[in-house]
Amino acid sequence: MLPLGGERQSWPVRGGFDMPKSFVVLFVSALLMTSALAAVAMEKPAPKPQTMCPVSGEPIDTSVHVDYQGQRIHFCCPKCPPAFRKDPETYFAKFEKEGVQLENIQTTCPVSGEKLGEGDMGEPVTISYKGRTVKFCCNKCVKKFEADPAKYLAKLPGEQPATK
């Protein structure tokens, strides 16, 4: 079927090859759909709760835990927290690699100091940072955090790295 003018709409091309605009639109649409599906397929799996001790690999005992930089880390027994404290970054990297989401104990934004989930800010903005879940009052605070993470991790509740 031809448009009202009686002529087929096509791209002006040199060399005699005439490609209808509808074919180009269809091809580009298919390409975009394929890209979108590939992006969805590459997303990380949903985070899972901590069920195993990061030190021993044994099931956790929820009564044995350490609160560290806004995260509650559970262990299997009282012997494991000292090993975690010696090198917490190794264990946070392990949590991140395994997709484990730790229990977050924050009540305030580490940037603004505002209480989370109160006032007109609505639900907190949550990001993952090197095995940690960090909550903020707004996206503006996330940007400030990303500029200097160490400064704001130090404001999170719980233990902090030992100063050397």
String of b and e for 4-43 (b: at least 16 CB within 10 Å)? eeeeeeeeeeeeeeeeeeeeeeeeeeeeeeeeeeeeeeee
- DSSP letter string, 93-136: HHHHHHTEEPEE---B-TTT-PBTT-GGG-SPEEEEETTEEEEE
Say if pTM beats, i.e. exceeds, 0.75. Answer: no
Residue 96 identity (one-letter amino acid): E
Edge-to-edge strand list for the sheet holding 71-75: 61-68, 71-75, 103-104
Nearest to 41 by CA among 29, 33, 49: 33
- ∠ CA 96-132-120 to the nearest 5 degrees? 135
pLDDT by residue for the chain (164 residues), tens only, comes to: 555 555 555 555 555 555 566 666 666 666 666 665 555 545 556 789 999 999 999 999 999 999 999 999 999 999 999 999 999 999 999 999 999 999 999 999 999 999 998 777 789 999 999 999 999 999 999 999 999 999 999 999 999 987 65
